[in-house]
Amino acid sequence: MNDCLFCKIIAGEIPGNKVYENDRVFAFRDINPQAPTHVLIVPKKHMANILECDAETAAALTDAVGVIARQEGVAESGFRLVSNCGPHGCQSVHHLHVHLLGGEQLTERMA
């Protein structure tokens, strides 16, 4: 998609701090980390949010979560996944992404 920030990062048109890539998924460090480990896991195919996600992409994202959690050293200690959707979800970038947060004891939250 022409004007999508994350599509540009995936294409290498804007710098991204890449941590993982395969044929379907790209993952990079959040520019404004909310935890010692804060990785954004995104499908290479543009889709606005989880409502547009097909089963194959969902499986690829889930596989990548495990790989990245182990790679980042948080698989044993634990982590949180968040995917904000739409205005009430406070989604600010409209390319589906999953936040992987960990590396310290996270605070309890609503969800």
Please identify every residue annotated as catalytic: 97
* Separation CA 55–CA 73 (nearest Å): 27
**Least distance CB 28 / ligand AMP (angstroms):** 6
Binding positions for ligand AMP, 25-64, rule CB under 6 A: 30-32, 40
**Least distance CB 109 / ligand AMP (angstroms):** 14
**Least distance CB 100 / ligand AMP (angstroms):** 11
Beta strand extents in 1-111 (DSSP E only): 18-21, 25-29, 37-43, 79-82, 98-102
The one among 44, 48, 93, 103 contacting ligand AMP by CB under 6 A? 93
CA separation (Å) from 24 to 17, 27, 59, 90? 18, 10, 10, 25
The one among 55, 90, 110, 111 contacting ligand AMP by CB under 6 A? 90
Which of 45, 4, 3, 40 lies closest to 23, judged by CA?
Answer: 45
The one among 16, 50, 57, 101 contacting ligand AMP by CB under 6 A? 16
The residue written with tokens 């710098």 in the block is 15
Q: Enumerate binding residues for ligand AMP (CB under 6 A).
A: 5, 16, 30-32, 40, 84, 90-93
